[in-house]
Amino acid sequence: MKWRGRRSSDNVRKVGSGGGMRTAGALGGGGLIIMLVLSLLMGGNPLDVLMNNPQVSPGQTQTTEYQSRNEEEKELEEFLSVVLADTEDVWTEIFASHGAEYRKPSLVLYQDRVNSGCGAASSNMGPFYCGADETVYIDVAFAHDLRTTFDAAGDFPFAYVLAHEVGHHVQLLTGQLEKVQSMRNQSNYNNEMVKLELQADYYAGVVAHYMQNKGYLDKGDVQEGMAAAAGVGDDRIMEMQGGRANPDNFQHGSSEQRQRWFLRGFEYGDLENGNTFSVRDAQDL
């Protein structure tokens, strides 16, 4: 993928686990609990309160920057900043074509562990999207894991992973994410989660479609993306209420489904053809 010398996003933060961590935990965690208690007392919907309250962004109060440990990490940071800028461009354009405004998400890169707006996270969680602070979290060591564990060669798999997480942010903006998460106590929740995941794969394909049109893709990038779609299992959408990760071991769809929906997004490059919620059973997707 051609990425050197291109625009990088302003919405990336490198968050260390230094002194700022404790402060952030105290402010963020306490703030979250107070907001929840208040909203429960007032009979409101805690999700709305959390999502609309600008103070509930613990990630932003962690100001300590980590030091990149090696060239591979530095390169990944730069690469992901450029890919995030690409996602900003494509979704701003698509939302505008629907008369809507795209609110850009943040990307927090961290080492080992981090306090997100959805609670504390450690590196073994893999990349995740937190709706409460509209932020994608990626442990920079994931680069290494991705190469070794999933046998994903090349650079495009990292672009795919980020574009997939940004896809969950798009789902937040369209209201789809909240719709599904509100069903978490229902028996068909996992079924709906698979639809959400395959739609995020489709959205990753939409970003690849845009990159292709701009001439950013190298030969083989789409194949790399497909391999990543098949092999990267376990990202997480964190609970919006904060405090804990999604406890459900939800499915992401089969490898074949994930590849197919990524390719479909790559082919169409729009929002319309990514409706994975048009069928009742996710197995039919």
Angle at 176 between CA 129 and CA 13, to 5 degrees: 25
Measure the CA–CA gap between 212 and 259, rounded to whole angstroms.
17
Name the one residue in this structure whose structure tokens are 């790399």: 224
β-strand pairing of 135-139 with 128-130: antiparallel
Contact between 204 and Zn ion by CB under 5 A: the answer reads no
Nearest distance, CB of residue 74 and Zn ion, angstroms: 26
Quick one: 200 or 238, whose CB is closer to Zn ion?
A: 200
> CB-wise, 209 or 252, nearer to Zn ion?
252
Q: From the CB of 231, what's the least distance to Zn ion, in Å?
A: 14
Nearer to Zn ion, 197 or 221 (CB): 197
Local structure of 177: helix, strand or coil: helix
| Residue in 121, 143, 200, 240 binding Zn ion, rule: CB under 5 A | 200
Q: In angstroms, what is the minimal distance from the CB of 148 to Zn ion?
A: 21
Residue nearest to Zn ion (CB): 235
Q: Which stretch binds Zn ion (CB under 5 A): 48-56, 219-227, 232-240, 243-251?
A: 232-240
CB of 122 to Zn ion, least distance (A): 18
Residue closer to Zn ion, measured from CB, 224 or 235: 235
Q: At what angle do helices 156-174 and 142-149 cross, to 10 degrees?
A: 120
Part in contact with Zn ion (CB under 5 A); list of ranges 77-85, 96-104, 154-162, 196-204: 196-204
Return d(Cα 235, Cα 163) in angstroms, integer: 12
90 part of the interface to Zn ion, by CB under 5 A? no
Asked whether position 235 contacts Zn ion by CB under 5 A, the answer is yes
- Bridge partners of 137? 108, 128
Q: How many other C-beta atoms lie within 10 A of the C-beta of residue 90?
A: 23
Torsion of CA 83, 85, 179, 24, to 10 degrees: 90
Binding site for Zn ion (CB under 5 A): 197, 200, 235
